[in-house]
Structure 1
Amino acid sequence: MNIYESAEDYLEQILVLLEEKGYARSTDIAESLGVTKPSVSVAMKKLRENGYISMEKGGLISLTDKGYPIARRTYDRHLTLTKFFVSLGVDEVIARKDACKIEHDISEESFAAIRDSLQKA
């Protein structure tokens, strides 16, 4: 299954919440992404049906072995791109927004070059 940008955003946000709070719930995802709870419900159903997440009875969401690598890759790209833009003098708020847009589409070659340039700095 091809995973879409919106699915990557949801998986990334679940990872961020898990790392920040130790748990992720639909209401937290809706609030942090600025979307409606019904939108999150539809997305979580699709992600669960495709094996990217699991949901416990209490509403807690976790990433599966299939979903975690996608979330990690997307989040790592986001952090690296943000750091890169900030190193160029871009305001951090703008850098984060731009990173969020680019993280889904940048080629592996371009991303590797950015990551390598940051490691050398």
Structure 2
Amino acid sequence: MKKLHASGEDYLEAVLVLQKERGMVRSVDVARYMGVSKPSVCHAVATLKEGGFLSMDEDFFLRLTNVGREVAEQTYEKHCFFTRLLVDAGVEPKTAERDACRMEHVISESSFRHLKQNMDKKK
């Protein structure tokens, strides 16, 4: 499996969130959701298709592959965890959201699991 850049993980996460919201997702939906240009999404989609993370059907709907879904769900789980953690600590929600987006990409899977287990024990 190819290593993804943070932006690739963000695109997969966006597709996942949009699929949960509306079922079918096109590039234009991703562009609107992420606040990026359509050409940026087209470039990312081509790269993600090449890497085996995403496919596009004949109606131009984007679909996560099994690997793509796994990456998207892991990224989204970290995003939600860090957003919640920061908001609970008193960080303003917009700032928490932005910071969580950075944190989700730099933490190792091992560190995240340990941190999450530790936090779950305290509940």
TM-score range, shorter-chain basis?
A: over 0.9
List, as ranges, runs of 4+ consecutive aligned residues in structure 1 with deviation greater than 4 Å. none
Shift of 1:117: 4.2
SS of residue paired to 2:17: helix
Corresponding position of 2:74: 73
Corresponding position of 2:34: 33
Correspondence 1:99 to 2:106: no
C-alpha root-mean-square deviation of aligned residues, in Å? 1.3
Deviates more, 1:93-102 or 1:108-117: 108-117
The structure carrying a bigger helix percent of its residues is 2
Fraction of identical pairs, as percent: 41
Corresponding position of 2:7: 6
Shift of 1:105: 0.2
Give, as a single letter, the amino acid of the residue that structure 1 aligns with 2:56: M
Shift of 1:23: 1.6
Separation in structure 2 between the aligned mates of residue 103 and residue 114 of structure 1, nearest angstrom: 12
Please, which runs of 5 or more residues in structure 2 have no aligned partner?
none
Give, as a single letter, the amino acid of the residue that structure 1 aligns with 2:45: M
Give, as a single letter, the amino acid of the residue that structure 2 aligns with 1:35: V
Separation in structure 2 between the aligned mates of residue 12 and residue 47 of structure 1, nearest angstrom: 12
Are the counterparts in 2 of residues 84 and 114 from structure 1 also a CA contact under 8 Å?
no
Are the counterparts in 2 of residues 52 and 68 from structure 1 also a CA contact under 8 Å?
yes
Give, as a single letter, the amino acid of the residue that structure 2 aligns with 1:83: R
Shift of 1:71: 0.4
Corresponding position of 1:63: 64
Separation in structure 2 between the aligned mates of residue 74 and residue 18 of structure 1, nearest angstrom: 15
Are the counterparts in 2 of residues 8 and 71 from structure 1 also a CA contact under 8 Å?
yes
Matched pairs, number:
121
Please, which runs of 5 or more residues in structure 1 have no aligned partner?
none
Separation in structure 2 between the aligned mates of residue 69 and residue 97 of structure 1, nearest angstrom: 22
Give, as a single letter, the amino acid of the residue that structure 2 aligns with 1:49: E
